Amino acid sequence: MMTADIVATIDFQAAVAFIWREADLLDAREYQAWLALWTETGHYVIPVNRDTTDYAGTLNIAYDNGAMREARVKRLQSGLAMSATSAARTVRTVSRFVADAGEPGAIVIRCAQHIVEQKRDVQRIVAADVTYRIVNSGAGLALDEKVIRLIDADEAQHGIGYLL
């Protein structure tokens, strides 16, 4: 439920537009522009356990700080990573936006994400619940945390080296 604090902090529609922009940048493989969306201290997380909130203390598919996000992008762009060879084309749909919490200068939004991936003549769908913590950085909105809870996170994952 959206509270008056959330509205006063960051406009809900502006935050949703920011999330749509992030999805578009990833589909366009605009990784440097995607990196620029983040705060220096932000975390990109794909937990194995969908219910965990202790990302630092549990197993994750990804738990990236700024340096790790940059390293992941470098691997994707180098052609050396398995996931970068014949890189998948993707189309993301993000929907079902719900404002979860707010504080001065920040908003937390949960949404659903579907990614259609095309790679080597095979198409597959990846679905997840995603939580974004978006902050007002002074220079505009910035990602401070993105948690991607894959619906099949506890099962074997095949080739999700691209950014979700």
How sure is the predictor about 10, in pLDDT bands with cuts at 50, 70 and 90? confident
Q: Indicate the DSSP class of residue 58.
A: S
Note down the domain range covering 96.
4-150
Query: Into how many domains does the chain fold?
Result: 1
Residue 121 has pLDDT above 50, yes or no: yes
* pLDDT above 70: percentage of residues in the chain: 85
Strand order in the sheet with 38-47: 60-64, 38-47, 141-150, 122-136, 106-119, 89-103
Q: What pLDDT score does 141 carry?
A: 96
Amino acid at 144: D
Report the mean per-residue pLDDT for the chain: 87
Show the tokens assigned to 12.
């809900």
Return phi, psi of residue 106, to 5°: -150, 155
In-domain check, residue 61: yes
Q: How far apart are the first and last CA of the chain?
A: 26
- What's the pTM value of the predicted model, to 2 decimals? 0.87
How sure is the predictor about 161, in pLDDT bands with cuts at 50, 70 and 90? low
In-domain check, residue 108: yes
In-domain check, residue 139: yes
